[in-house]
Amino acid sequence: MSDARTAPAGAARTRSRPPPPMAMLAELTHRCPLACPYCSNPIDLTKASEELATEEWIGVFEQAADLGVLHLHLSGGEPAARRDLVELTRAAVSFGLYSNLITSGVGLTEERIYSLAEAGLDHIQLSIQGISPEGADRISGYKGGYDRKIAVAGWAIEAGIPLTLNAVCHRQNMDEIDAMIELAIRLKARRIEVATVQFHGWAERNKAALMPTREQVERATETITKAREKYKGILVIDYVPADYYSSYPKACMGGWGRVGLNVTPSGRVLPCHAAETIPGLSFETVRGAPLSEIWYESAAFNAYRGEDWMPELCRSCERKKVDFGGCRCQALALAGDAGATDPVCIRSPLRQHLTRETERYPATSSMGFIYRGR
Ligand code: SF4
Ligand code: FES
């Protein structure tokens, strides 16, 4: 279980014990009927035969609760592809975890939703890809997906499960944000999360077709501001803006090894969903070590924890406790070094180059997507 990693220089210096994680994302499976072009799951997906068994997941949930995790996000792939989803939910709830199901809706029936409600599921986060069956199904690569989502939203509300809509926005649907918010109101969601696409995993392959334009991003910000005012007290609107057009990076994962952890379908424990792209890091598995040991002691979790790993630019910056130096996986993808300042930062020497490259993407909104497995 010793997945040794050459930690960045200085990473092991004066570090106090971190607080326990607040949230855990359990990627129950990578199986998924949809083929969203912005999928952040890795290019090589975990096979069904390698997935943790029911009892193994239940053991992980129990360990998570003991460690101090409060929120459990049941995700995938499509978590409804797991036949034991209701059983897993019931177990999570029995350990006192707040359970959130992150789903495309495909694979959920009315009966299954009521079983999840009876098992104590606290919340459903339902993805939407667009505002019409044609547009949404083209993006997700799954015919009939839109209609199923509308049905699932209705069943969730009837079963008394609070609903959030989750819309990943990109060049080909970003002008529909207004209508997506209207849809959330019609479906009686309490919240909508509008998140601009990130380029991890499969999404990287569709970057040219997904990258929004500066004008779209500005319009989106305006739309969100007006909608927040209009629907105050009725709908909560979360917005993750496009960091390629921002001055500062986002605090990815709330800081590496600081707030949350991800467990892959086969049980590898990651500080973020794209961490496996970072060369030199290796990850322990729940089959080989206790979750608490992985969180507190493993080389991967300690690699970019705290401030010791930071380049001087970040270490001497007043925002280091706001964004924690940005995203390590994005730094790797754009600067070739996971230990660099996130190139999205206006102080990064790479920022101007990034802006020029970003504005070079074509503005057309009909470019075809590359779909996984097709
Ligand atoms: Fe954040 Fe580093 Fe940029 Fe400061 S220099 S704003 S800490 S990324
Ligand atoms: Fe890995 Fe941001 S996705 S640190």
Residues with CB under 6 A from ligand 2: 200, 252-253, 256, 272, 274-275, 327-330
Measured in Å, residue 247 CA sits from the centre of ligand 2 at: 18
Nearest-atom index, ligand 2, CA of 278: 1
Which domain does 31 fall in, by range? 23-252
* Residue 3 forms part of a structural domain: no
What values do phi and psi take at 212, rounded to 5?
Answer: -70, 160
* Residue 149 forms part of a structural domain: yes
Measured in Å, residue 252 CA sits from the centre of ligand 1 at: 12
* Residue 167 forms part of a structural domain: yes
Q: Which residues pair with 73 in a beta bridge?
A: 25, 100
Q: How far apart are CA 48 and CA 53, in angstroms?
A: 10
Q: In what order do the strands lie in the sheet with 163-169?
A: 236-240, 191-196, 163-169, 123-128, 98-103, 71-75, 23-27, 260-263, 269-270
Q: How far apart are CA 270 and CA 201, in angstroms?
A: 14
Check residue 15 and give its pLDDT.
61
Where residue 169 sits, what CATH number does that domain have? 3.20.20.70
Measured in Å, residue 181 CA sits from the centre of ligand 2 at: 28
User: In which residue ranges of the chain is pLDDT below 50?
Assistant: 1-14
* Residue 198 forms part of a structural domain: yes
Dmax over CA atoms of the chain, in Å, equals 56
Pocket test for ligand 1, best of 347, 350, 351, 354 (most atoms within 8 A of CB): 347
ipTM: 0.90
Query: 209-268, pLDDT tens digit by residue?
Result: 999 999 999 999 999 999 999 999 999 999 999 989 999 999 999 999 999 999 999 999
Residues with CB under 6 A from ligand 1: 248-249, 313-314, 317, 319-320, 323, 325-326, 341-342, 345, 347
pTM over 0.80? The answer is yes
Q: How far apart are CA 339 and CA 309, in angstroms?
A: 7
What secondary structure does DSSP assign to 290-312, as a single string? -HHHHHHH-HHHHHT-SSTTS-H
Q: How far apart are CA 150 and CA 327, in angstroms?
A: 34
Pocket test for ligand 2, best of 198, 330, 344 (most atoms within 8 A of CB): 330
Check residue 1 and give its pLDDT.
34
Q: Give, as one character, the DSSP assignment of residue 132.
A: S
* Residue 320 forms part of a structural domain: no
* Residue 183 forms part of a structural domain: yes
32 is in an annotated binding site: yes
39 is in an annotated binding site: yes
* Residue 316 forms part of a structural domain: no
Question: Are 177 and 194 contacting, i.e. CB atoms less than 8 angstroms apart?
Answer: yes
Judged by its nearest atom, the ligand closest to the C-alpha of residue 312 is: 1
Measured in Å, residue 346 CA sits from the centre of ligand 1 at: 8
Number of domains in the chain: 1
Q: Give, as one character, the DSSP assignment of residue 285.
A: B
DSSP-derived 3-state class of residue 223:
helix
Q: How far apart are CA 75 and CA 101, in angstroms?
A: 6
Residue nearest to atom 1 of ligand 2 (CA): 329
* Residue 341 forms part of a structural domain: no
Q: How far apart are CA 198 and CA 204, in angstroms?
A: 8
Residue nearest to atom 6 of ligand 1 (CA): 319
Measured in Å, residue 200 CA sits from the centre of ligand 2 at: 9
